[in-house]
Every structure is written in C-alpha cells, then in structure tokens.
Amino acid sequence: MNYNKLILCFLGGFITLTIACKKDKVNGGDEPEALMPKETIGVYMLCEGTMNNNNGAISYYNVKTGASEKDYFKKVNGYALGETANDLQRYGSKMYCVVSGIQGGKNSYLEVIDVATGKSLKRIPFFDADGEYMPRYVAFNKNKAYVSGYDGKITRVDTATLAIDSRVAVGGALEGLAVVNNNIYVTNSDHPIHPNGKKDVVSVVDLTTFTKTQDIEVIHNPVRIAAAGNGDLLVISWGNYDDINPGLTRISSTTNKVTGNYEYSAGALAIGGNTAYLSLDWGASIKPFDVGTGVMGKEFITDDTIIGSIYGITLNPVGNEVYIGDDKNYATEGKAFCFGADGKKKFEFATGPLPQHAVFNYGY
C-alpha cells in the first residue's frame, strides 16, 4: 500500500461518488417524467487540482463532436475555480461545486453553475470572521443543499435563494454525506490538520429539525459514504495508515445499526441500485460490490484499457455508463474514461489535474 499517496489523498481529498438510479433522480432533483433526458450531450469533469497550486478546474467534453476543454470553467467565466475543488453535484438545472480552499486563506466557496452553459450563477462564501468552513461535500433534499465541513458543521443552503440559511454543529472533520429517509448521514474522519471530535463515527442529522440525533460507530477514519437502492449505506474507512486497517461498513438506514464490516481497502465509490463500484488498493482496480450480500465481484474493466490510478468514479444512468477519473499518478493533467456496462471503453478525453467526479449535460 502506498502510504505517501494515502496521506496526500487525505489532505487533498477525493470524492465519494454517488448517483441515484431512479429515473426521477437522474438530475439530482425531483423532475417530472416529461423532462427525463434522452441522451448525454456533454460531460463536465471536476478536477480537484494539486495541493496549494490553486489549479482546481472543471473540464468539459462534447460527446457529439469529441472536442474537450481542460479548463472549461475558466474559459467561460474568466477566473479560476480555486484551490482544492472537492465536489461537484447536479440538482435540477444547476451544478454545485464545493471549493475547499486552504486554512487561513479565506478562499472556501460553494460555486453554483448553470449546467447548460457552464456559467457561474453565484459564488457563495464559506467563511466568516472566525475563519473558513473548509467545505468538503454536498448533498440535496427538498430544495436544500447540505455541505459538510472540516469545521465540524453542516451548512444548509436554500437552492431557490442561493443563500446560507442555517448551520449545525455535528462533530469533527466531516467528509462524505448521504441523504436517506429524511436523515443525513455524515462521516467523521481522522484528519491531521483538524484533529477535534470523534474519528470513528457516522453522525445522523434529522432534516426536519436540522439537529443531530446520534452517532453510529464504524471502522476508524470514515471518509466516504453512499446509499444503495435498498436503503443500506456503505461507508469507506481508511484506518490510521499504521496499525488500524481500512475497511467497509454497511449500515441499515431503517435501524441505524451496523450490519456488516468488510476488510477491503477502497478509495473512490459510486452506487447504482444495490451495486457499488469501488476502486481498490489505491491503483487501477475497480470491482462491483453487492451491498445487499457483501460479495465482491470480478474486475469491471474487460478490455485492454490501461489506467494509471483511479481517482474517482461516476455512474451515468443515461446509457448505463461508468466514468473513471485517472490522476495519472498525480500528474499535472489527468484523463477521463467512459466505459459501457460491459466494461469496455467507449471514449476518453484529457482533463485538468486529479479528475474525480462527472456531471452530465443532457439533451431532452
């Protein structure tokens, strides 16, 4: 195991990638059947950027023409995305990009972007007089965006007004989060720069009252979480890079009890239905994992495509495609691959550094 790479990933972060499989959730929002997409016309790829270089980017690939732009966001908006672009998710007609920034830099934001054009609609500051919120991931429920932060709080944003309307203290260095049954589940990681709080729990927040209700103990240092179609949650923990091993934990959202622990070292995660796609052992291996049975499948990639190092996975329900971000071993630029459900490559395109999550521009 490459522990130097593990630590760099932890400090810079990379994405837990989730997308719902139900038709009415293809864009992250509650869209009517008449607006269901017919095809994918473009792919936005969030590129985290290399640490302390302020080179986060959003690349764009035109599926129709095959043309790509490695820093499409800067080209369209005239300014750089920022330092450590950590998450990009679609809700309705907008994308929400979490820019973590650096401690002491007052450069943490939530960038709200029009999906059709790539144009920024609003940059919401995620800092105040007391310091940065250090935002990490975003999830949605009933016209609200919920953003986790290393400051131990979840920030709620109204998606109509695009304004922060509440914040709630939850725990320590918060990372990935998922919404199930009007609850939000968020991981409390073991972060060397943000050491406060518990380091081995998933916290539960009731979204009706927007209050924390409980902690669920999991394997040490949970960082990624996603919900399966059956309501179970899958959590990736990274251990302590020494004498506590990484692993997976399954949680029932019905009982909020742990129903399984599995000895796998995983990085990126995406779930469609009850199948989780996991990058394993910090390399180029990606395998399907049945969340219901706990059974790991065979290698997903079935052709001779060579990937340097998987940094992110996204599922596209339109066409049943699997997108993989290749960081090319922390190179100054990356590459994105699109695979069919059969594990064979459909196309690839160049991206900015550390590509880790895709959002899709659909035709209707």
Mean pLDDT (the chain) is: 91
Positive or negative, the CA dihedral 70, 75, 77, 82 is positive
The predicted pLDDT at position 9 comes to: 39
Q: How confident is the model at residue 5 (pLDDT cuts 50, 70, 90)?
A: very low
Q: Where are the alpha helices (DSSP H) in 222-309?
A: none
CA angle 351, 162, 138 (to 5 degrees): 50
- In angstroms, the CA 349 to CA 214 distance is 43
Instruction: Work out whether strand 163-169 and strand 173-180 pair parallel, antiparallel, or are unpaired.
Output: unpaired
Tell whether the model's pLDDT for residue 10 goes beyond 90.
no
> Residue 42, class by beta-carbon neighbours within 10 Å (0-12 exposed, 13-18 middle, 19+ buried)?
buried
Q: Shortest CA distance to 111 belongs to which of 68, 153, 80, 143?
A: 80
The predicted pLDDT at position 104 comes to: 84
Residue 354, both tokens: 């550390």
Q: How confident is the model at residue 29 (pLDDT cuts 50, 70, 90)?
A: low
Lowest mean pLDDT among 19-28, 158-167, 231-240: 19-28
Q: List, in sequence order, every residue forming a beta bridge with 90; answer none if it has no partner.
A: 95
Tell whether the model's pLDDT for residue 91 goes beyond 80.
yes
Positive or negative, the CA dihedral 338, 341, 345, 346 is negative
3-class state of residue 212 by DSSP: strand
Q: What is the pLDDT of residues 32-42, one digit of tens each?
A: 445 789 999 99
Q: How confident is the model at residue 18 (pLDDT cuts 50, 70, 90)?
A: very low
| CB neighbour list of residue 304: distance below 8 Å, 6 or more residues apart | none
Q: What is the mean pLDDT of residues 299-313?
A: 96
Q: What is the pLDDT of residues 120-160, one digit of tens each?
A: 999 999 999 999 999 999 999 999 999 999 999 999 999 99
- Using a pLDDT cut of 90, give the percent of the chain over it: 86
CATH of 3-363, one of 3.40.50.300, 3.40.50.2300, 2.130.10.10, 3.40.50.720: 2.130.10.10
Tell whether the model's pLDDT for residue 21 goes beyond 90.
no
Backbone phi, then psi, for 157, in 5-degree steps? Answer: -120, 130
- In angstroms, the CA 192 to CA 240 distance is 10
Residue 162, both tokens: 């695009």
Q: How confident is the model at residue 28 (pLDDT cuts 50, 70, 90)?
A: low
